[in-house]
Chain A
Amino acid sequence: MSDSTGRVAVRKTYKLFIGGKFPRSESGRSYPVQNSNVALASRKDVRDAVLAARAAVKGWSGATAYNRGQILYRVAEMLEGRRDQFVGLGVPDDEVDEAIDRWVWYAGWADKLTQVYGNANPVAGPYFNLSAPEPTGVVGVLAPAEPALLGLVSVLAPAIVTGNTVVVLVAEASPLPAITLSEVLATSDLPGGVVNLLTGRPAETASWLAGHMDVNALDLTGVADPELAAEWERAAAGNLKRVLRPAAGPVDWSADPGVGRMTAFLETKTVWHPKGV
């Protein structure tokens, strides 16, 4: 790529995003996409990404909801600034708009979901009794291939806004918007490790993620093959991961997403305490 002045452009190396850093795959492998060589993640990259995600849980889930909301809104600001880059990668204008708006929508949920999804319980006794949602922990996500940006944002934002950290296996066919998104995330005050993005072939790495005993949940939304989805759901049963299955039919990504993608990766914690003098 060179501009009209004949200047030789500096090309971008498309790498993984793990723990806030941009490593190459430990395997040293890559695969070509749109004239770029994209890192081809291995099972060891999955391992490293889960470690990074686990390390980030304490800080991210312990941050105030207001703080998480602020950071996610900052992500939307950065997305807006990189608008043209996504368009340059072939993401349609309206999809970019939709993705940014979707991100803002989810950002605002950070300090509201507990109010909507938690509640006080009027137990039949002298007890304070409160149920509130808490993040599940580390969520493995298989991102949909299409729409590359909106689909990714639509699975990523709901998982992290509540305090989970994620390891995302980006769809093999459309990694470039994901990598650009990771550059956005890296410059948005999002703590390293909250989002980890692995490009490559999910068919090769997903079973490692699904079977990993330190992953708490698995979002299979991006899995098109029902056989593979079933296989990974079975693998997820090893430590009883919460599993979000692929939709039964086609998904309208521009429709109101509802809260289901957030609540799928929440635990309800109920606290009791006596009331006395």
Chain B
Amino acid sequence: MFEYAPAPESRAVVDLKPSYGLFVDGEFVEPADGGTIKSINPASEEVLAEVAEAGPADVDRAVRAARRAYDEVWGPMPGRDRAKYLFRIARIIQERARELAVLESLDNGKPIRESRDVDVPLVAAHFFYYAGWADKLGHAGFGPDPRPLGVAGQVIPWNFPLLMLAWKIAPALAAGNTVVLKPAETTPLSALLFAEICQQADLPPGVVNILTGAGETGRALVEHDGIDKVAFTGSTEVGRQIARSVAGTRKKLTLELGGKAANIVFDDAPVDQAVEGIVNGIFFNQGHVCCAGSRLLVQESVYDEVLASLKRRMARLRVGDPLDKNTDIGAINSAAQLDRIRTLAEIGSSEGAERWSPPCELPDRGFWFAPTVFTGVSQAHRIAREEIFGPVLSVLTFRTPAEAVEKANNTPYGLSAGIWTDKGSRILWMADRLRAGVVWANTFNKFDPTSPFGGFKESGYGREGGRQGLEAYLDV
């Protein structure tokens, strides 16, 4: 047997402090009430650092700093100068890429292969892309002189901590807004390193403010009277609460929420690539992906063949140490998320679906869940309807293209969908009918700063990325 020896990426490149303050007005400051949160490594449960928990007074302080920066510096600054700051940030991200990747894997649990080859390169690319827009806003199709909104309050999730920060901050700054961003409770560290990068770039104080904290911090930020824009990525339930809380205000809102994407495989699909797409669709980032292809719809005539290939492929997935360069599936981000995945998987079994995982040894410490596939799933099963946000795939079948569309759309979500077939006209016919913001045909889980991302229906509204992503931060 070809046993790959451990190939761990060195964590020496990351210099963690024991504790971190809040990043407000260009400086790290102590929180007003001194609360702290421990950020742990989900692969080992060791404490990585303590971070401050921002309270209402901190939120107020940060929003005021952002407002002052907007009024006095960033708002009046010519777009070409804003662009140069963003280019600077992009370059520093590239220069410190390995450090960011290792830190992201430490704090999040995702494999270093993904943080190194996907997350961090996309982060830099996002800043590059939006940097170029800063002095061309009049050509973006939103009128000759689109205005920024003011101060943006941004709340991001733990699944792609730094990438979600980039999706939020890059377009906001390019459009001329200033921001107060709250990273997720369990993954604050890369955002704090980003704060250092802002300092290194000599970004004017107050343009970017980072407040660590949990849900209450996020609520205080979203509800603060001094912000003009709320951008949130996270669960549909919290998205609903935010939509309610901004009702009746003039705050512009964009939401990127949950999903339950169908990945549809026809009998004429390029099977080997389809299987790769299925695996990438649901096991990328441990399935902690809002656009994950969590419902596999297979045409009945190739069901046996696809399932056999899928299981064989799943048996090759390497689960374990996120810092090992050969790891395919890392740690589940938190104990709470692991509980949720376990609960829904148990419901899947109890509702009669058949559960299968390849043999795989999971580490003793940390939060782990083996890649899992449920067969014999029907539309009525909870595992076919609810977002699991973990490495759990539900397999359903269909007979005709119309049935595939009907089943794919039979969900309150509408973030993404996948189509696998060699027939071009069928792809376009399907793409027209799938109610989803991103349709991947003969590919899956691809992202690019130029390509708008966001959902239909309860998957949220507004787009991130591309020309459309600017609209979220402009008064149009």
A and B touch in the complex (CB under 8 A): yes
Q: B438, A272: Cβ atoms under 8 Å?
A: yes
Measured between C-beta atoms, what is the minimum distance from A63 to chain B in Å? 12
A248 within 8 A of B: yes
Q: B438, A234: Cβ atoms under 8 Å?
A: no
Out of B125, B250, B442, name the residue touching A273 (CB < 8 Å): B442
Chain B hits for A260, CB < 8 A: 476
B203 within 8 A of A: no
B residues 429-476 with Cβ under 8 Å of A?
A: 431-432, 436-443, 446, 448, 450-454, 456-458, 460-461, 463, 466-468, 476
B18 within 8 A of A: no
Given A269-B437, A273-B443, A240 and B457 contact (CB-CB distance below 8 Å): yes
Contact bitstring A44-58, B, C-beta under 8 A = 1, else 0: 000000000000000
A residues 228-277 with Cβ under 8 Å of B?
A: 229-231, 233-234, 236-240, 242-243, 245, 248, 258, 260, 263, 267-274
Measured between C-beta atoms, what is the minimum distance from A176 to chain B in Å? 31
Out of A127, A231, A270, name the residue touching B439 (CB < 8 Å): A270
Given A124-B448, A229-B248, A274-B442, A116 and B141 contact (CB-CB distance below 8 Å): yes
* Cβ-closest chain A residue relative to B121: A124
A131 within 8 A of B: yes
A117 within 8 A of B: yes
* Cβ-closest chain A residue relative to B241: A237
Given A127-B443, A238-B240, A240-B458, A270 and B450 contact (CB-CB distance below 8 Å): no
Measured between C-beta atoms, what is the minimum distance from B401 to chain A in Å? 15
B244 within 8 A of A: yes
Chain B hits for A127, CB < 8 A: 443, 446
A125 within 8 A of B: yes
A165 within 8 A of B: no
CA of A240 to CA of B438, assembled, Å:
18
A92 within 8 A of B: no
B412 within 8 A of A: yes
Measured between C-beta atoms, what is the minimum distance from A66 to chain B in Å? 16
- Category for how many chain A residues contact B: 35 or more
Given A116-B141, A268-B463, A234 and B439 contact (CB-CB distance below 8 Å): no
Chain A hits for B458, CB < 8 A: 239-240
* Cβ-closest chain B residue relative to A226: B248
Chain B hits for A239, CB < 8 A: 412, 457-458
Measured between C-beta atoms, what is the minimum distance from A250 to chain B in Å? 16
Given A233-B247, A237-B244, A240-B457, A269 and B439 contact (CB-CB distance below 8 Å): yes
A188 within 8 A of B: no
B86 within 8 A of A: no
Q: Which of A127, A229, A239, A273 has most B Cβ within 10 Å?
A: A273
Out of A116, A131, A226, name the residue touching B452 (CB < 8 Å): A131
Chain B hits for A117, CB < 8 A: 141
Q: B443, A131: Cβ atoms under 8 Å?
A: no
Chain A hits for B411, CB < 8 A: none
Q: B460, A240: Cβ atoms under 8 Å?
A: yes
- List the count of A-B residue pairs having beta carbons below 8 Å apart: 111
Chain A hits for B452, CB < 8 A: 121, 131, 268, 270
B427 within 8 A of A: yes
Q: A240, B240: Cβ atoms under 8 Å?
A: yes
Out of A131, A242, A258, A272, name the residue touching B446 (CB < 8 Å): A272
A119 within 8 A of B: yes
Given A131-B468, A240-B257, A260-B476, A270 and B243 contact (CB-CB distance below 8 Å): no
Given A233-B248, A269-B437, A121 and B448 contact (CB-CB distance below 8 Å): yes
A114 within 8 A of B: no
Measured between C-beta atoms, what is the minimum distance from A213 to chain B in Å? 8
Chain A hits for B468, CB < 8 A: 131, 268
Q: A129, B451: Cβ atoms under 8 Å?
A: yes
Q: Which of A227, A237, A260, A274 has most B Cβ within 10 Å?
A: A237
Out of B239, B451, B457, name the residue touching A131 (CB < 8 Å): B451
Chain B hits for A123, CB < 8 A: 446, 448, 450-451
B residues 233-267 with Cβ under 8 Å of A?
A: 236, 239-241, 243-244, 247-248, 250, 255, 257
Chain B hits for A233, CB < 8 A: 243, 247-248
CA of A30 to CA of B255, assembled, Å:
41
CA of A248 to CA of B236, assembled, Å:
28
Given A117-B141, A125-B446, A270 and B248 contact (CB-CB distance below 8 Å): no
A122 within 8 A of B: yes
A216 within 8 A of B: yes
Out of B236, B247, B461, name the residue touching A234 (CB < 8 Å): B247
CA of A248 to CA of B251, assembled, Å:
12
* Cβ-closest chain A residue relative to B456: A267
Out of A62, A125, A240, A270, name the residue touching B236 (CB < 8 Å): A240
CA of A229 to CA of B250, assembled, Å:
12
Chain B hits for A258, CB < 8 A: 143
CA of A20 to CA of B462, assembled, Å:
33
Chain A hits for B456, CB < 8 A: 136, 267, 269
Q: A268, B443: Cβ atoms under 8 Å?
A: no
CA of A124 to CA of B467, assembled, Å:
15
Out of B239, B250, B431, name the residue touching A271 (CB < 8 Å): B431
Out of A119, A125, A131, A272, name the residue touching B440 (CB < 8 Å): A272
Q: Which of A236, A258, A272 has most B Cβ within 10 Å?
A: A272
* Cβ-closest chain B residue relative to A237: B243
Measured between C-beta atoms, what is the minimum distance from B418 to chain A in Å? 10
CA of A244 to CA of B382, assembled, Å:
33
CA of A239 to CA of B427, assembled, Å:
29
Q: B240, A270: Cβ atoms under 8 Å?
A: no
Chain A hits for B442, CB < 8 A: 273-274
Q: Which of B241, B257, B438 has most A Cβ within 10 Å?
A: B438
CA of A63 to CA of B457, assembled, Å:
21
List 23 contacting pairs A-B, 8 Å CB cutoff, sorted by A: A62-B432, A122-B450, A124-B450, A131-B452, A226-B248, A227-B248, A230-B247, A233-B247, A234-B244, A234-B248, A236-B247, A237-B240, A237-B244, A238-B240, A239-B412, A239-B458, A240-B257, A240-B457, A268-B468, A269-B438, A269-B439, A272-B438, A273-B427
Show the binding face of A for B, using Cβ within 8 Å.
62, 116-117, 119, 121-125, 127, 129, 131, 136, 216, 226-227, 229-231, 233-234, 236-240, 242-243, 245, 248, 258, 260, 263, 267-274
Q: A62-B432, A121-B451 are in contact. List 17 more A-B contacts (CB 8 A).
A: A119-B467, A121-B450, A125-B446, A127-B443, A127-B446, A131-B451, A229-B248, A233-B243, A234-B244, A238-B240, A240-B243, A243-B247, A269-B436, A270-B438, A271-B439, A271-B441, A274-B443
Across the A-B interface, give the 9 residue pairs with the lowest CB-CB distance, nearest first: A230-B248, A237-B243, A233-B247, A123-B448, A234-B247, A121-B450, A273-B441, A121-B451, A237-B244
